[in-house]
Structure formats: C-alpha cells, structure tokens
Structure 1
Amino acid sequence: MRKNAIILTSESSLPLAQTIKRELIDTDIYTKEKLNETIQISSIRNCIAQIFNETDAIIFIGAMGICIRSIAPYIRDKHTDPAIINIDSTGRFVISVLSGHVGGANDLTKEIARIIGGEAIITTQSDNTNLWSLDTIGEKYGWKTKSNTENFNHPLTTFVNRKPTALLLDIRDDGTIYLERSKPEHVDIYYKYSDINMSLYELFIAVTPYSYPPGIQTIYYHPKVLHLGMGCRKDCNPDGIAQYIENEIKLKNIAIESIKDISTIDIKKDEALLKNLQFYFGQLPVHIYTANELTDIDVPNPSEKVKEVTSVNGVSESTAIRSSDYGILILEKQKGVLSQGNDFTFAIAIDRTAIRQGHIEIVGAGPGDPDLISVRGRQFLEAADLILYAGSLVPKELTYCAKGGAIVRSSASMDLEEQFAIMKEFYDKGNLVARLHTGDPCIYGAIQEQMAYFDEHNMVYHITPGISSFQAAAAALKSQFTIPEKVQTIILTRGEGRTPMPDKEKLSLLARSQSTMCIFLSATVVDDVQKDLLEHYPPTTPVAACYKLTWKDERIYRGQLKDLAKIVRENNLTLTTMIVVGDSIDNRRGLSKLYSHQFKHLFRR
C-alpha cells in the first residue's frame, strides 16, 4: 500500500487537501498551522528531510518554487526517489514534478486530477505521445526488465524519438496482447527471432524467455513462464550444482529470469539440493508432486532405473511438464555429475498458456446492444483471425469491429462438429479464434460440449464473461431484483420443454421461495410456466415479458402473473424472450438502509 504525504503551504487549501486525503488511502497532511486532521510541523524543509525516504508520494499544495527548493537537496535517483506532485492552491493544475514513470507520479497526477476536477500536467514525452512506457511496462505485466546498454535512458530515447524498432513476441500473455493491439507505427512485430533483419532497426525489444546474440541496443522483458524440474540421487551433495545448472541454462540461451518455480517428486522434497536451488534462484516457489500425479505423463527421456525407484518415467521432465500445466519441454533432461555418486538431472518446460500457438477465446457478447460487450471482449473481436458467432442470437453488428482479413462466420447453420472443425482449422495455424456467444456464455451458452472437444484435443482456451440478459432486464425494468428483508435471492432458470428439467429443479419447486425469478428460453411453454408459478406466487405478482432486450426492436410487456400466458401469446413473443416474475419489479418500497446515517462508518477511510 502506498504511503502519501500532503504538504500544505496555505490554510485556505485545507478543503482541497482533505478531499484528496479521503480518496487516497494512507495519506497524511502536514502543515505549519495547527489545523484539524493535520500533522503540525516546524518547517517544510525539516519535514521533507524526515519523510523523503519513507514516503511513496509527496504532494505539495502551493507554489511550485516552494516544492522545488524543498526537495532539491534530497533528489538522488528515479528508482528510489518518491513521486513528487505539485498542485496550485486553487486546484486548477496538478503537475507531475519528479519520478513520473518509475515512481508513479504520472499516474498519481492523473488520479488526483480526477478527484479534484483539475488538469493533469505531464511532461513525459511517452505519455504525451501515447507511446509505451518502456521503463515501467515490465512491472505492470510481471516481466523482468533488462537491457544490454549501460544507460537505460538511451534505448528509451531511441523509442520516444520513433526510430525503427523491432518487437519480438515469442510468448503470449496479457502484456503481449496489449502490445499487439497498441503498436506504434515505427514498431514492427515479429514472432520468430530468425525473421528479423537487425540492420533495418535501431532498437530491439523482446518479450521472451530466451536471450539472443547481442547486437543493436536491446530491451528484454523476461516473463515468468518457465518451470524447472529436478531429480537427484538420494542425499546428493549440492555443492556447485546450482551454479552449474545456471551456466548450462544460459548456454542454451534461456533466461534465468523467466524461471517461475522449481518442482520435484515427493521422495525428494527433503533433499539438500532442492533447498539449495530454491535459495540460489531467489526463493522461487517449490512444487512437490506424488507419483500418482506424474504416472501418466509421457516424457521424451524415460529411465527404467528411475521408474524402479519412483514408479514414474522420469522426475525432472515429468515435474516440469506438470508444473507448466502440461506445456512443452524447451530443455529436455540434462544429466550432471560434479562428484562421484551425486548424479542429478534437470529439465525446463514452458507454460502451456504462454506458448505462441492457436488460442480460442469464448466471448460473452452481452444481451445484444454492441456497446454492452465488455472492453476485453471487444479487444478479442478486434484481434481475432476467426470470429464464429451464434448468428440466430447475436446481432451481426457486434462483428463489425473485425480487423481486415479476418474471417467472420455465423454458426447458425452449423452442427457442433462443423463448428469445431473450422475453429480447429484456424487454431492449428496458430490463429486467434473468438467464439461469440450471446449474454454470458456460462448461462445457457451451450459451451460445455465445445470445451469437451477442446480438452480432448489439448487446445488452449479461455472464457471472457458477458452481461447476461437477466441483468439487462433489471436495467430495462428500472428494478432492483433484491429487496431488503423481502427478496434476497435471484433464480435463473427455464421452463421444461423438449429438454427435461431435473426433478429437484422443477419450476413449481423453485417457486416456493417467491424469489425474483428470471426464466430463460420459455416463451413457447408459457402456459406450463404460468401454471407452475401460480402454485406458490399470488396471481397478482408482477411479471414482465422482455423481448430482445437491448436490441433495436426491444419490447417489454408488464402485467400480473395470472395474465402471463395471454401477454406472451397476444404479442407473438418468441424464444428471445426473458420472463421475469416477482415483487421486485418496479418496487420502490423496500429501500436499502445502506446509505442511512447508521451505516456511514462503512464509507470512512
């Protein structure tokens, strides 16, 4: 947690300081005046001398000259100096003074400007030109930053001056996806080092678990995506082994900085070598596996002797593969003996999800309005090589953001095998596939069968959630679906049609709670739905039939439960109808007590 200090030079600016203090956790206000909620100081100079190296950010409110003269004697290095911000006494201008990137002054300047309604003044060139902040982006994504230059400012200057830059991305994670999406014009992206002609560039940037031959000025970002597996003889003498393993790894051009953890089998958990390796490589996490967890893992270099002792085909390879979520070995089993009787092995695997290969993202499209897809979901659609969308349920407008050259197909006429075939075709080429489902794909999204295929073929996939139509219904009805002391449960369910409902989930049983009920996919069986609900809900219970929520032709019909079937039939409502039942519809009586005076303490910082 950041610790912040506000230096107040004028009593008239106290309300401004108090506003900032309320929004920024762990903030103290210092002033020479004796004022409530402040710490009284003898002088600003003495105060700065005491707090400069103990505070993450110092915020001056007053003249810039006072700020500069006060901090000047203590400025040392951008990697250790606190963020310094200056605000004029009226709160009109918020200025990032020192440690803009590394110290976080630029981001804090923007945050404070939003808090007080001021104008953020930032002079850092990369911020003002919307370029990547190369000195801080590694920390943001958990990458270890290195450079082959003595002065890191040299490659930074090359980049902000828009000199030709080659960017190598030979793994995939959230950070590389961001870099691909936000690439400046002077940057060319490569996925293989061998494809780069370095003579064309003045700067080389690489997000990689590897090291490459030194050439032009280079910035490396090493992500933690590698898993070191180890095995050894009983009571192996660890002397010199860690250094040996490090040297061997470096000879293979693998970055030590990318090693995420160390793993072995349970019978080796007390070996001195394991503890020595953990200490040598910076207290990395250790994973211990039982033989049962490793038995079915195929390794390229099995050992009969190891199998006799452990019942697994090989310790170092199998544990590395297991820790990488069944990724691939980038360094197969290496054997070493530094002294007689002290044999050891090690291997390295890369995270399955980090491998630059095909990827399938199951994206929740939201209820229909293209603006209601998540930011992350939109980004996947913009980057996808194939968009396969549920054409009968998802508006085609959602796919209009596809990049040039992308293939956009509706799955409405495809069976499951055809859908899988086209996704696998693109996946096998190393492409990104966006499978677009209506609402939130985990609610009646029919994704279970697709995921079973993906699992069977060991394909990498992920789910981006979406706004469900039941949430859109609450918004359209201007209703809070939970009422204090009356209704605290929302049931998402469906009527029984061609697909039977489990006996314990029959609609008539669920209706006993008289909760707010959102009923999907049930317009065609509305008579049965009404009959089941009337077993426990009063006939006058409010209902709403919501057709194509958030679409251009959205229609909503309100009424009472006794008239539900009539409402649906007379208005020719179809499968894209959400039925909502419960006293929460249009309820304004059961107002929450959360904002009453007795709960104000919940909002104090």
Structure 2
Amino acid sequence: MVAESRPIAVVAVTRVGSRLAARIAAALPEAEACVPARFAAEAGPTTTAYEGPVAALVRERFGCCRALVLVMAVGAAVRLIAPCLRDKRTDPAVVVVDDGGRFAIALLSGHLGGANALAERVAAITGAQPVVTTAAEVLDVPAADLIGRAFGWRIENPEQLTRLAAALVNGEPVGVLQEAGEPDWHDDPLPAHVRRYPDLAALCAAAPAAAIIITDRLLPATVLQPGWVVYRPRTLVLGIGCSRGVSADEIAVLVDETLAAHGLSPLSVRAVATLDRKAAEPGLVAFVRARRLELQTFPAAVLDATPGMERPSAVVKAAVGTRGVCEPAALRAAGAARLLVPKQKGRAATVAVARISA
C-alpha cells in the first residue's frame, strides 16, 4: 500500500472489478486504483496492490481522500463505509460502481462532497448510467447547500439549511432576496413556489416558510426566521494602506471595526488591494493569509490616476507618489466607479471598501 494516497481512491475487490478500477483511475488524473494483490498484475502496473481485508483499506482512504469510488455491490459498500460516517460536511464523496460497469451510484455526500458530479464523471468513463437520488436533482429545485458554491459564496447560518432544503423539495413557499453577487446562481425560471422579492421589507411582509437571502450587508438577528439562510457572496474588496511595521492584528481590528460600522459582512470580503511596494509588508501579508484572501497590488501611477477618490492626500502623494492608496486600490481591484466606504484611518493603517461590479 502506498504511503500517500491521491484525492480519489478507486477500490475493487474482484478480478473483473480490478480491471474496471484501473480503467476508471486511468481516466481520472487525481485517482489511484487500489486492487487486491492477487489481481494487481493483470489490472495493470499503475495500480496499488493491497493485502488483507478491504475494510481496513476503505477505513484508511475514507479518512484521507476527498472521494472514494467503490467497485462492488451497493450492500457491500454500505457495510464498509457505515463505521466511518461522521458528518455530511466533512465525509468524502462515495460513488459505487457495479463490476459490470452498468451503474455509477452517488451513495454519500452527493452535494457537499461532490458525489453527484463524480458519478457523472465515472459514468462518462465507463458508459454507465449515473444514478443520482438527491431530492433537489430529482425535483429540479435549487440544492440549498450548493447555492453559490461555484462562486465561492459562504453560508452564514448553515444550521438552517435543513429547513430550507425541506421547503424547497416539499413545494412550500420560499422567498429569494438578492442584493449582491452573481445573478446566475440558478437557471431561470425558478420553481413556481420560489419567488423573488425586491427588498427585505417585502420578504419579511410575505413571511415565506423559508428564504434564500444573498447579501453582503449585515442583517438584524431579529429579521431572520427559521429556514431563512443567508448566503454571503464574495463581493467586497478592502483597499489597505499601511505604515512599515504595522501588525496583522492592527489591520484586523481596523478592518473589522470598519465593516461592522458600515453594516458589511466580513464573510463577503474577497480580496485586499494595496500599493505594489507594500506587497511584502509582513503584517499585511499575515493578515491576508489569516483571512485567506486574494492580494492585488498596483503601481503608484495607476492608483493616482484612478477616478473616484473621496479623500485624497497631498501628504500621501509626497510620500509614495499617489494621492491615495486604500481608496484607489479598492476601486481598481473591484472595477467599481464609487466606494462603499471611504478611507478610514487607524494608527498605522487605512482602509476603504468597494463592491465588485456585477
């Protein structure tokens, strides 16, 4: 058994299944075919041979791989993975393929783990019929836990996902309020029981059983009802200027205070933008890494020529060659014409906020 596994383990238990596993893994660059040692030679030189019970192998790969393709009967697969199950948010995708390659069944983590998509990929390789049983796909309604995922949206209150998902699949009234973010998160038309609302007041007045709220604004806790899920699109850019030696904590405090004071969610921040000569400033780099944000930099001449600055400074111009750093950096990186938040000053840093153009 190899010391380090690949992201997808394709596991077989029979001679025929071993050949099929090798074929599937060969078509998936990120996959590893794991076959019984006695069938490894005929399955091919690129396979990984295992000795002993397959249960031990599945248990190991379940804990370190993002997906498993089990070439065996569904019942056998269920018994093998049952002791390993922990949480739908962290369990890997599991797809089951019969030895004849006739069906590719998304068995576990269809949405969050990506088993539905993996079943489609495996089916395309083997000529199998993909089998997807999650209700959202069967009923052609939005999958609550996948809304905006392709765009990097974050879910603020995931504990409400189950209520929203139930309302979507059961045909109960579901409201949609979108104030920011990519508009094509679902193909129109939406199902008849899913209705868009123009603003928060209209949504609250309608009081649907569940709601999809897509916004980068902070919402009063009293507004949210059971089944109302808040999705945070990555729409905000922080323009940051800073002095040499500024700490990551100083930047974090200024950013968090600024966002809170202006009613904006930190979960919607996508990037930080600044002057190119600040790209290696340790405190700024540490802040960006800690928040897992993109860092974009611009030359002074580009920043100085950016329209839309609200608080230019002759002092800054004399020091770094541009009338501003945080404001024009935010505008440039966001592709925006105006700021959401003009320059806010801390002891050793400044911050401005712009919204990415849709």
Specify the TM-score bucket, using the shorter chain as the normaliser: 0.7 to 0.9
Map 1:157-306 → 2, pairs under 5 A: 157-173=166-182, 176-179=183-186, 181-214=188-221, 215-216=224-225, 217-232=227-242, 240-266=250-276, 268=278, 273-282=283-292, 284-298=293-307, 299-306=309-316
Unaligned runs of 5+ in 1: 337-341, 355-605
SS of the equivalent of 1:334 reads strand
Question: Which is higher, the Rg of structure 1 or of structure 2?
Answer: 1
How much does 1:257 deviate? Answer: 1.9
Going from structure 1 to structure 2, the CA distance change for 1:66 and 1:321 (only over 3 Å counts) comes to same
* Residue 103 in structure 1 maps to residue 118 in structure 2: no
Going from structure 1 to structure 2, the CA distance change for 1:335 and 1:41 (only over 3 Å counts) comes to same
CA contact (8 A) 2:246 2:284 kept: no
Going from structure 1 to structure 2, the CA distance change for 1:343 and 1:109 (only over 3 Å counts) comes to closer
Matching residue of 2:39: 34
Going from structure 1 to structure 2, the CA distance change for 1:160 and 1:236 (only over 3 Å counts) comes to same
CA contact (8 A) 2:181 2:233 kept: no
1:218-248 C-alpha deviation (Å, 9 max, x unpaired): 3233232221112345655665442242133
Map 1:52-91 → 2, pairs under 5 A: 52-91=62-101
Going from structure 1 to structure 2, the CA distance change for 1:198 and 1:119 (only over 3 Å counts) comes to farther
CA contact (8 A) 2:303 2:322 kept: yes
- Runs of 4 or more, structure 1, over 6 Å off, are none
Matching residue of 1:49: 59
Letter in structure 1 aligned against 2:208: Y
Matching residue of 2:129: 119
Going from structure 1 to structure 2, the CA distance change for 1:272 and 1:183 (only over 3 Å counts) comes to same
How much does 1:272 deviate? Answer: 5.5
Going from structure 1 to structure 2, the CA distance change for 1:322 and 1:69 (only over 3 Å counts) comes to same
Matching residue of 2:356: 351
1:376-433 C-alpha deviation (Å, 9 max, x unpaired): xxxxxxxxxxxxxxxxxxxxxxxxxxxxxxxxxxxxxxxxxxxxxxxxxxxxxxxxxx
Distance 1:193 1:180 in 2: 23
Unaligned runs of 5+ in 2: none
How much does 1:210 deviate? Answer: 2.1
Q: Which of the numbers 3, 10, 13 marks the counterpart of 1:6?
A: 10
Going from structure 1 to structure 2, the CA distance change for 1:86 and 1:194 (only over 3 Å counts) comes to same
Distance 1:17 1:232 in 2: 55
* Residue 24 in structure 1 maps to residue 28 in structure 2: yes
CA contact (8 A) 2:106 2:119 kept: yes
Distance 1:181 1:189 in 2: 11
* Superposition RMSD in Å: 2.9
Map 1:510-529 → 2, pairs under 5 A: none
How much does 1:249 deviate? Answer: 0.4
Going from structure 1 to structure 2, the CA distance change for 1:180 and 1:99 (only over 3 Å counts) comes to closer
Going from structure 1 to structure 2, the CA distance change for 1:285 and 1:103 (only over 3 Å counts) comes to closer
Distance 2:151 2:317 in 1: 40
How much does 1:268 deviate? Answer: 4.9
CA contact (8 A) 1:56 1:82 kept: yes
Distance 1:196 1:104 in 2: 32
CA contact (8 A) 1:327 1:350 kept: no
SS of the equivalent of 1:152 reads helix
SS of the equivalent of 2:167 reads helix
Task: Report the TM-score when normalising by structure 1.
Answer: 0.52
Q: Which of the numbers 317, 334, 339 marks the counterpart of 1:324?
A: 334
Task: Report the TM-score when normalising by structure 2.
Answer: 0.84
Letter in structure 1 aligned against 2:193: H
